[in-house]
Amino acid sequence: MPMITADDGTELYVKDWGQGAPVVLIHGWPLNADSWETQALGLAEAGYRVISYDRRGFGRSGQPFAGYDYDTLSDDLATVIKALDLKDAAIAGFSMGGGEVARYMSRHQGANVSKAVFVSSVAPGMLKSDDNPNGAPADLFEQMRQGLRDDRPGFLADFFKDFFGQGTPEGGVSDAQLNWAQGMAMMASPKATLDCVTAFGTTDFTGDMDSIKVPTLVIHGTGDKTVPIEATAHRLVKMVPTARLIEYDGAPHGLTATHATRLLDDLKAFLA
């Protein structure tokens, strides 16, 4: 698989599968492109060209000490799209990856993008404010950063229980999948892991929403404890006239795994 060089020299690991209309899959924190496995394989088998890449600092990409803000991250997405000469691509962001989709549409004018997808996405913003009363308080993200500094493996092991909704009626994955997620997370740079908590937790994307003019699909679980639906998806669809929301009743945050086949089917239906 190719390595694509970002503007600052950071190497980005990219998987490019299949042939057909392009679909770019942007992973969530603190995982990497492998977390899209079911959807990437299924879309490629359905006749799409599927591009998934490891965000800088994560997986097999380079680990610079800086550059974990959404302007830089959306520039990385633009670099991937340009390097692979993608035209009329659909871009899909899971969780933190939804921020890249939103910022790309404004900062890069949605160049060469025909559709947008937000899955369990942080956009239009997670931070609690007068405009977002259901958001998370700032000290929650500071607690996350401190937990990562104190015991990154232990923090992440606990984090993934809520991420996948372990023990809930509509959630839960196998111990093997929990271990796999933990392994992906531990591949990441500790600096990237910390800085991206600040990025996805405190970035306000409301100013990016007006730039989204393409057909847009929003998928979110009503049982999401990691990125609550009221603070994100419910607000997004009010700001983007082209957006359609599909709620997964009771589903947790990690839809790519807990509702892998249903998500694949909904993506195929939207892309068609």
pLDDT value of position 132:
96
Q: What is the mean pLDDT of residues 39-50?
A: 98
Running DSSP on this structure, what letter comes out for residue 54? P
Could you read off the pLDDT of 127-145 as tens digits, one per residue?
A: 999 999 999 999 999 999 9
- pLDDT above 70 for 229: yes
- pLDDT above 70 for 68: yes
Could you read off the pLDDT of 20-33 as tens digits, one per residue?
A: 999 999 999 999 99
Mean pLDDT of the chain: 98
Global pTM reads 0.98
pLDDT value of position 221:
98
Active site residues: 95, 224, 253
Confidence of residue 1 (pLDDT cuts 50, 70, 90): low
Q: What is the mean pLDDT of residues 204-219?
A: 98
Rg of the chain over Cα atoms, rounded to whole angstroms, equals 17
Confidence of residue 236 (pLDDT cuts 50, 70, 90): very high
- pLDDT above 70 for 245: yes
Domain parsing of the chain, residue ranges: 3-271
Could you read off the pLDDT of 79-104 as tens digits, one per residue?
A: 999 999 999 999 999 999 999 999 99
Homologous superfamily in CATH for domain 3-271:
Alpha/Beta hydrolase fold, catalytic domain (3.40.50.1820)
pLDDT value of position 15:
98
Task: Tell me which residue of 189, 152, 182, 185 sits closest to 57, measured CA to CA.
Answer: 189
Confidence of residue 52 (pLDDT cuts 50, 70, 90): very high
Give yes or no for a contact between 126 and 201, defined as CB atoms under 8 angstroms apart. yes
pLDDT value of position 62:
98
Running DSSP on this structure, what letter comes out for residue 245? E
Running DSSP on this structure, what letter comes out for residue 48? -
